[in-house]
Amino acid sequence: MSAAASALDALKRELGELKDFDRIAALLAWDQQVMMPPDGAAGRADQLSTLGRLIHERSTSPELGKLLDVAEPVAAKLDPDSDDARLVKVARREFEREVKVPQDLRAAITRTCSESYPVWVEARQKSDFAAFLPYLEKTLELKRRYIECMAPETEPYDALLDEFEQGMTTAEIRPIFARLKEVLIPLVRAVGSSDAVDDAPLRRQLPVAGLREIEQRALAAAGFDPDAFRLDTTVHPFETAIGISDIRLSTRYEVEGLESLFSSVHEFGHGLYEHQIAPELDSGLLARGASLGWHESQSLLWENLIGRSRPFWQRFAPDLSEIFPDQFGSLGSAEVYALVNKVRPDFIRVEADEATYSLHVIVRFELEQEMLSGELALSDLPSAWNQRMHDYLGVEVPEDRLGVLQDVHWSQGSLGYFPTYSLGHLRASQLWQRIASELPELPEEIARGEFEALREWLRENVHRHGMKFTPAELQERVLGGPIDPEPFISRLREKLAGIYGQALIP
């Protein structure tokens, strides 16, 4: 074996073992949210803290740095888009970022997040923000220490955003979100109170057995492989990949109407992304999505552009009528399509329609920056949240369970995550423009419950690359330019005009 091959192989072995540790941590976290009895929380916090410390030690070790030093000259002679060259590039970036974070800080973040989750679960159930407040305060202080380690050149929030959307800055997001607010607030006001669509069938809880049946049929058609995927219930739906052939999805059923179906389809989009990463990348650092914004583009594409589309309900409205004859037996596909796309300003982000969804995200984006800067005292967070929900969505939040406590993210330390949801919305619409031009028969295929061509297009253009390319590089390769809100805005206006009439659309 040549010295060059030996250097790369040694680096890949080390990175492969680190990937195994990461996946073990992911499995422990999945178990905590899905299977673990509540009294296991303290022990799980210890386990995750220990594992986090070990991962940090190895991912910042001088030995790994030396392996990178030896491998980089070798990688420089390769095709810059080759797997090995990209692996070394990504590994160097992650190494340089991790060495900035002290071991005790990384362990403290991991422990605090593990301790916070069960407290958040109970606080959410009881609508008791005061119980969660000390944990949020501790999390925020740790995040401020993390930002100091990163020493961002521009705004502090950029350091948190970069964890989830590499290279994206707060300054880039603000004008995008300003444009969305400019369009969405008056649009929601115009159609949100319309009685053109009676969504009474969706304003009640449906039998869980029926919900499981409709989601199983829809996911099976979409490509859910029971040998590689599983679906469980949890408090807050999520997806995690233990490997490209071990995809864990979750949903929840204590919701109205078909929200559990859309939740499951959303998480399937995440899972399909991980499942279709090239097998040769599976054991290493590149076996994950390019960014959270790219991940959300996949989940939201499946949830909204497919799951709420007219062709989808041409296929599944008859199943809906069969499974729920009392609620949907008299409704055709056009009526179901209108129901599931009704603009209904409400409290819960994960149950929001396309028109209101990004306003939920913008509320969180703005509040996180104010929390971080100290402009907003955390004790005042519920009232600030409720005021912004009133200003942007016109709703009065009745209790913190439906307001500031609804999302799991802050209990997991994921500040900076929320903007990726809206970036994903916008990317999904940009992707759909290209997909529609290259797969002109797709609407007819979806109406027949056929998704093979779509899955293959996504695999070839997005999924197989994993993390080989930066978010901006993948954006340029696939979409030919930066994130643009206009395709989303145009598509949304056209869809709502078809449901509510053009006269109502500002």
**Active site members:** 267
- Cα–Cα distances (Å) from 93 to 60, 89, 472, in that order, read 12, 6, 15
Residue 477 has φ and ψ, to the nearest 5°, of: -65, -40
* First CA to last CA distance, the chain: 67
**Length, in residues, of the chain:** 506
The pair of structure tokens assigned to 297 is 């583009």
Q: Which of 174, 140, 141 is nearest to 155 (CA)?
A: 174
Interatomic CA distance for residues 383 and 396, integer angstroms: 11
Q: Say whether 376 sits in a helix, a strand or coil.
A: coil
Look-up of token digits 């005292």? 377
Alpha-carbon distances, residue 315 vs 214, 218, 333 (angstroms): 12, 9, 8
Residue 165 neighbours by CB under 8 Å, 6+ apart: 291, 292, 293, 419, 420, 423, 471
What is the distance between the alpha carbons of residues 316 and 214, in angstroms, rounded to a whole number? 8
The DSSP letter of residue 122 is H
Quickly list DSSP for 390-447: HHHH-----SGGGTTTS-SGGGGT-TT-THHHHHHHHHHHHHHHHHHHH-TTHHHHHH
Q: How far apart are CA 380 and CA 358, in angstroms?
A: 23
Which amino acid appears at position 254 of this protein? E
Element (H, E) at 229: strand 229-233
CA gap 173, 293 in Å, rounded: 12
Nearest-5° Cα angle at 12, 10 to 14: 70
Question: Is residue 404 within 8 Å of residue 393, measured between CB atoms?
Answer: no
Structure tokens at 335: 């009526």
